Chain A
Amino acid sequence: MISRVADHCFWFGRYLERTENMARILAVTQNLALDAEIPTQQCWLPVIIVAGQKAHFGAEHGEEAAADGELVQRYMSFDEDNPTSLRSSISAARWNARSIREVVSLEVWETVNELHLWVNSEEAREEFRSSRYAFYRRVRQLTQLCLGLTQSTMLNDTPLDFIWLGVLLERVGQTARTLDVHHHALTNLPPPPPSEMSAQAQGALRRQHRVVETALWLSLLRACSGFEPFMKLNQGQVSEQAVAQFLLYEPRFPRSIRHCVHAAFARLCEIRPPDSVALPGGESLERLQLLHQWVADRATEAFDPMAVHAALTHVVDETAMICDGIGRELLGYGPPDSNPTVTSQ
C-alpha cells in the first residue's frame, strides 16, 4: 500500500478516536461538575491537560479561566485555534479521509463528511446551546458509527490495519494521559484531617473526602467507557488501586492499555509480519513488542500505587516513539527526495 495513503489511514483513525474520546470526556466532566462538590477548576483543568492544551489555553484565557466550565467546553468543542477541539479533530479526520477517498468506503466517507458538515452548522450550535448532552452524544455516535463502518464495509486489508493501528495507539495515549491526570489530581486532594480535630469532625471530613474521591474515580471510568465493565469485574468496590489496575492491565477491557497495546501489536504484525525481515517496519514492530511485554510483565506483578505515574509516563513516551518509528519506517516521513533502494519489482 502507498506509504502516503497509509499515513492518511493512520491519522484518520487517530483523529476519529481523539474526537470520540474528547466528546466523552466533556460529557462526563459536565456531569461530574454538577455532582461532585469540588471546585470547578479542578473538574475542568484536567480536560485541558489531557488534551495537551494547558499552555495554549493559558495563553489565550489564563489558567484560572478553567474554572469557567462553559468557556472550557466552547474551547474544546468549537475553537478553531485549538487543534484538539472537536471541530478541529473532526475536520482533520475528514481531511484525511478525503485525501484517501478512494480507499475508505463510501459509507465511512459519508458519515465523516456528514459529521463535519453538521458540527459546522447552525443546527449543531443550537444543539450545543439547548442540549449539551445531545450534542456530545451525537458527536460520539457519528464517530463510533464511522469506526464501526470501517470494520463492516471495508476489506480486511492493510488500509484497515493502519486505521486501527492509529485508533489503538491513540487510545493507549488517551487512556494513559486521562488516568495520569486523574491520579495526579487525587494525590493533590486536601491533606488528611489534622489530629487536633474532634473524632467526629475527622470522620465527617474523611467521609466527604471519600465521596469526592469515589466520584472522581467513577468519572474517570466513565470517561474511558469503563464504568459498567469495571463494576462487573469488581462488584461495585471502587478504589484507586482497582480502577488504576483495571485501566492499565485488564486484558478483557477494550480501552485498557494492555488490551490496546496487544491489539496494536497484532495489527502491526499483519502490516509487517515478524518473519519478513526484508520489509520495512522491523524496528517499530520490535519496539511495540517490547512495550507489550513490559505491560504484560507488570500486570502480573503486585500492584504498586506509587509507581503508577512512572508506569504511565513510560507508556506515553514509548507510544510516542513507536508512532515516530512507524512514520519513518512505513509512512514515508523520511527526507522528501530520498528514493528507497529498489528491492523488488
Chain B
Amino acid sequence: MAHGPRGPSSGSFTPVLLENPGAGLFAGYTPLPGAYDELFGRDGAPRPEFLRTATLLGALAPNEFARAQHLAELALLNQGVTFSVYADQRGAEKIFPLCLIPRMLSAADWAHMERGLEQRVRALGLFLDDVYGDQRILKEERVPRDLVLGSGQYLKQVHGLRPPGGVRIHIAGVDIIRDPAGTFRVLEDNLRTPSGVSYVLENRLISKRVLPHLLDKARVQRVDHYPARLAETLRSVSPASPSGTSAVVLTPGPYNSAYFEHSFLARTMGLELVQAPDLFVDQDQVFVRTTRGPRRVHVIYRRIDEAFLDPEAFRPDSLLGVRGLMRAYAAGNVALANAPGNGVADDKAVYPFVPEMIRYYLGEEPVLEQVPTYLCMRDDDRRYVLDHLDQLVVKAVDEAGGYGMLMGPQSTAAQRDEFRARIQATPRRYIAQHRIELSTSPTWDPTAKTAVPRRLDLRPYVLTGRDGSWVLPGGLTRVALVAGSYVVNSSQGGGSKDTWVLKGPGENAQRTPSVGAPGAGPAAVNNDPPGAAPGSDPPEAP
C-alpha cells in the first residue's frame, strides 16, 4: 500500500530488519510477575497466535520506532485529535497519548468477547424495559427493589415510556479487564454516553499511516465502518422513515472534554452537530434553527447528560437544554440515543446483579465473568469492607473517570479513615472489589527507548438498533503509561493503543458486509491520507 508523504505530520515508516533481533523493540522485555501479558507467554516467547506480528514488531530498531512514535504524536496534534482539560482555565487541549505498539486480540478471544457482550447488552436492555415497565424482576425480588428505585440514576419521568424504535442502549461501552489467569472480566457497563470510540478510529488511521507494512501483514479486522454503522443504528429507531429522517448529534459545545469526539462522529456520519440552543420544541416536535427557518429533527444522538437535556423535566435551575424535549420524546416524535434513564442499569451498585439478569431474562449462563463485588449497603458486606480496606478497591457508585476511588493496597491510613467515615455515612454510595491484577502489554517508554510492560483495559463498543446488536471489532485500549500505575483514564494520565483484532483462519472479508444505505459505507470515512485506500481491507498475506 502506498501511503504518500503528507507534510511533516506523516510519512510512512518502513521496518528495518535488524541483523541482531535481540537488539530490537522487545530486547530485554520482561513481563510483569503475577500479571497476564497480552503478547508474551510465561516462557518469555510471544503467544503463538501473535507470533508473526510480534516478530515483525520486534524487528524494529528502537530509534526507528521512536521516530514513528514521534510522527504519530505530531499527526494527532496537527489534526487536533485532542481532549480539553477542565482544570485548565484557558481551555487547553491535549492529545490523548498514543502508544504505537498495538494491543492484539486473537480471533478466538474476540469471538468469545463478542458473544458475551451481545448477551450482556441484550439482558441489560430487557432489564431497563422491565424497570421502566412492569418491574417483574423487582417484584420477584431477584434484584433488591430499594437498590434500583433508590438509585440516583432512576428516572421516574420516563416510567411507562416506550422509546421510539424500542431500543434503549443504542451505544454501549463495556469496560473489560483481563485477570492473571487470562480470563476477561467485565469491570463496568457504560450505558449513558460512553466516549472514546473516535480514538479507536483515529488510532487506526495513524497505524495505517505510520506502520502500513505491519498492519498489512497482521490481518487485522477493520474499524472504519463504525460511523456508518452508528448512523444506520440511529436511523433504524427513527419515528420517521429512514430516508426521511433527520438525525443530529447534540454536544454541550467546544469546551466539553469530549468535543473532538462529538465533532468527529458528526463529521464521519455526515450529520449536523448541534448545541442545545440550536434546537427548540413546538407542539411536541423538535426543530433545529437554520438559516432557512426551522427544520424537523427525528433522532438525536445526545452527548450531554440527561440532567441537562430539558430544564422542564429535570433541572429547572439549568439554562442549558431544550425546553420540552422530554414531552416530544414521550409523544414518540423524537428518538434519543441513548435513552434517558439508562443510568439505573450501569450504576456500580446494580452491576453485581447483571449475571442474575442474564439468567432471569434470557435463561442463559453469562458468557463473560465479572469482578466479585461487595455492596456496602449490605451489612455483612460492609463489615467485611471496613475490616479489609487496605486490601480492597472502593468506588463511589456515582462517579466516573477514576474519581472517588480508594486504592486500598496503595492507600495511606488517613485515606482509609476518610473512606471509612464516608462509607458509614452513605453506604449505598459505595462498592468494593478485590484488586485484580490487570493484564499488561508491551508499551513504549520514551525515556528508556524500549518496550516495557504496562497495565491496560479495554472498552469495546456495542451498537444496538431495531434489528439487534453489532460489536465494533476491538475497542479502545487504555493503558497506564506510568510504571506501577493501575489508572488508565485519560483524565488521570493514561494513554491509548490501537486494538488489533486478528482475523480468524479463512476469514477474508468482514462477516457482516457494510450496508449501502445513503451516507453509509466506507465513503463516509473521508480522512484517510491520499494514496491510502479508504475502507478497504488490507491485502491478505499469503
Contact = CB atoms under 8 A, between A and B. Distances in A.
A98 to B, nearest CB: 6
A281 interface: yes
A331 to B, nearest CB: 8
A74 interface: no
Interface in B66-92: 77-80
Given A2-B288, A332-B289, A102 B282 contact: no
Contacts of A117: 77-78
**Size bracket of the B interface:** 35 or more
Nearest to A334: B289
Contact of B278 (A2, A114, A162, A281): A2
A345 interface: yes
Interface stretch (B55-63, B292-300, B404-412): B292-300
B20 interface: no
Interface string B442-458: 00000000000000000
A331 B259 CA distance: 22
B263 interface: yes
A109 interface: yes
Contacts of B277: 4, 332, 336
Given A4-B277, A340-B294, A345-B296, A102 B288 contact: no
A6 B278 contact: no
A2 B278 CA distance: 7
A106 B280 CA distance: 30
A3 interface: yes
Nearest to B292: A279
A280 B289 CA distance: 12
B278 A4 contact: yes
Given A4-B275, A102-B273, A117-B77, A342 B282 contact: yes
Nearest to B253: A99
Nearest to B79: A110
Given A332-B289, A339-B280, A344 B254 contact: no
B135 interface: no
A99 B292 contact: no
A330 B291 contact: yes
A101 B287 CA distance: 22
25 contacts: A2-B274, A2-B291, A3-B289, A4-B277, A4-B278, A4-B289, A99-B253, A101-B263, A106-B79, A106-B526, A110-B79, A114-B78, A117-B78, A158-B291, A271-B291, A279-B292, A279-B293, A280-B291, A340-B289, A340-B293, A340-B294, A343-B293, A344-B293, A344-B294, A345-B295
Interface of B: 9, 77-80, 249, 253-254, 259-260, 263-264, 266-267, 271-275, 277-278, 280, 282-283, 285, 287-296, 526-527
Given A280-B291, A332-B289, 13 more contacts: A1-B290, A4-B275, A4-B289, A6-B291, A101-B80, A102-B272, A106-B79, A106-B526, A109-B80, A272-B292, A278-B293, A279-B293, A344-B294
